[in-house]
Structure 1
Amino acid sequence: MKKRMLTFASLGMVCATFFLSCESNNQAEEEQLQTALETPAKIISNAQAAKLFQNDQQTRLEQIGKKNTRFEDKAIHFDLTTLENYINRLETLATSKNIPITGASFVFGADKNGQRTVFLMPSTRNAELDYQESFTIENGQFLTFKHVDPSLQPQNSSQNDENLILWPNGFISFNEATVLFNNYQTQYIQPFAKKVTKDYYTKAVWYSLEEFKQYISFLQKKSMQYNLAITGVDVFFGVYDNDASLELKSNAQTVFLAASTNKQTIVNTAKKSLQILTQDEFLLKADAEESNESLTFNEGQLSPPPPHYCYDENGRRYICPD
């Protein structure tokens, strides 16, 4: 009798262990699935971010006489809470003023010293030109900020009364943004255009409001999970490979985003610093770190779009009339 009881007890222990094992496996699979669902689709690997960063140095800065740009001057810092509040403000504005805000664009600029920068502007889709067009509101007037133009004209009167253009140093007016935009054209696009002829030159990178929210939420969760103390987002200029398979993105300027903690850029949950990785065998080290969760974000929509082309009877290409 004791043997039978012992057998049943043993069987019970086996069954319990089996079910616990099953439950543990299911839980692990669910956690993996949940992690995958919470990871934004536009998270890129460290190696991809590394390549974008190096391409920018080699194919842009070195080509236009800005080879010695310091790393500190390449990181454009946005406070994480400020960025989150800005996106929430745009959502509120879309509802209160019935404006079909589709997202926000990092618009390229350069300051008076020639240092590159970006500023954020809300965007709405321009159906006629088929691209995401930035805008702001001043004195109750809706003002478009056309990336398709080579330069923009300042307004007769411009004041920052709606706080819709976010620069790393605070909110700026339409005219202040125009100066930055025009500086980028003269100091970065025109010198490069003399060396490389392209159908279009990127002047902004667009993300939907939902993509912004997902990335901010992702960084906040990873910050708590891995004790990273992420306080901001650093924006870096990058350039895609000169690869025909990339089509319109081939050799195109873009930006990628990375987490920032205490004003140090980190690219993954192992707290690897972007600056350290760039100092020695960046690509090799980036490839070796793929097992760690990446915190870098890219694949935004480039703006302005390339021109629409038509062809004459001899097959010669020309820009289609509006």
Structure 2
Amino acid sequence: MKSEDTKTAVLPKQLISTAKAKELNQNFITKRADLNKKAIGKEDANAIWYSLEELENYIEYIKSSGSEKGFVVDGIRFYFGVYSESEGKGKAGYTTLFLSPTGKSINEKRAVELTEEEAGNSQDIALIEPLNFGSMGNPPKMEYGV
């Protein structure tokens, strides 16, 4: 007998190999990290971490809040940002990553399943708060798989 927590996993279509992930991360480090360091005068964050619980809670929140506000939430868009100097010494000037729910008004007659092209055009739902404040590690620079 399966517990309620046990679900059959569906293999995501967007998976990449760990070798590809290492390549992408190294490309970022060699092509962007030094430019960021020169621009802000310190090593910048290049990885952000959220716990599974935080992500699961946020997904449940945006689905529920979206429904209450008249939206079908169809995804999450990830935005890069930079903390202002007023954030204090621990975050000021560092890159951050925040999550914004996307979707369409329930009033729009459309299927919930989106094509890849439609998903890229999905609109941010500004009536639902974005999620921020993941951990960027200490020091902020990390390398994938190291």
What TM-score comes out, normalization by structure 2 length? 0.70
Of 172, 190, 209 in structure 1, the residue corresponding to residue 16 of structure 2 is 172
User: 2:36, 2:132 → 1: CA distance?
Assistant: 23
Match of 2:108 in 1: none
Instruction: Return the offset for 1:301.
Output: 0.9
Alignment of 1:16-27 (within 5 A): none
The alignment yields a C-alpha RMSD, in angstroms, of 2.6
Q: Is residue 206 from structure 1 mapped to residue 49 from structure 2 by the alignment?
A: yes
Partner-residue secondary structure (3-state), 1:255: strand
**Relative contact order (C-alpha < 8 Å, sep 6+): which is higher?**
2
Task: Give me the identity figure in percent.
Answer: 28
Of 90, 95, 106 in structure 2, the residue corresponding to residue 253 of structure 1 is 95
User: 1:249, 1:194 → 2: CA distance?
Assistant: 17
Instruction: Return the offset for 1:239.
Output: 0.5
Any runs of at least 4 consecutive aligned residues in structure 1 with deviations exceeding 2 A, and if so which?
A: 194-197
Alignment of 1:100-179 (within 5 A): 170-179=14-23
Match of 1:300 in 2: 134
What TM-score comes out, normalization by structure 1 length? 0.33
Structure number with higher strand proportion: 1
Partner-residue secondary structure (3-state), 1:177: helix
Instruction: Return the offset for 1:224.
Output: 1.7
Query: 1:45-86: CA deviations, max 9, x gaps?
Result: xxxxxxxxxxxxxxxxxxxxxxxxxxxxxxxxxxxxxxxxxx
Q: Is residue 264 from structure 1 mapped to residue 127 from structure 2 by the alignment?
A: no
Instruction: Return the offset for 1:196.
Output: 3.0
User: 2:125, 2:70 → 1: CA distance?
Assistant: 13
Match of 2:143 in 1: none
Alignment of 1:49-128 (within 5 A): none
Between structure 1 and structure 2, the one with the greater Rg is 1
Partner-residue secondary structure (3-state), 1:211: helix
Query: 1:20-40: CA deviations, max 9, x gaps?
Result: xxxxxxxxxxxxxxxxxxxxx
Structure 2: 5+ residue stretches without partners: 104-118, 141-146
Partner-residue secondary structure (3-state), 1:171: coil
Structure 1: 5+ residue stretches without partners: 1-87, 93-162, 269-293, 308-322
Query: What letter matches 2:29 in structure 1?
Result: Q
Contact 2:47–2:136 (Cα < 8 Å) also in 1: yes
Instruction: Return the offset for 1:221.
Output: 0.5
Alignment of 1:213-292 (within 5 A): 213-243=56-86, 246-261=88-103, 263-268=122-127
CA 1:226/1:180 → structure 2, altered by over 3 Å: closer, same or farther?
A: same
Partner-residue secondary structure (3-state), 1:178: helix
User: 1:182, 1:191 → 2: CA distance?
Assistant: 14
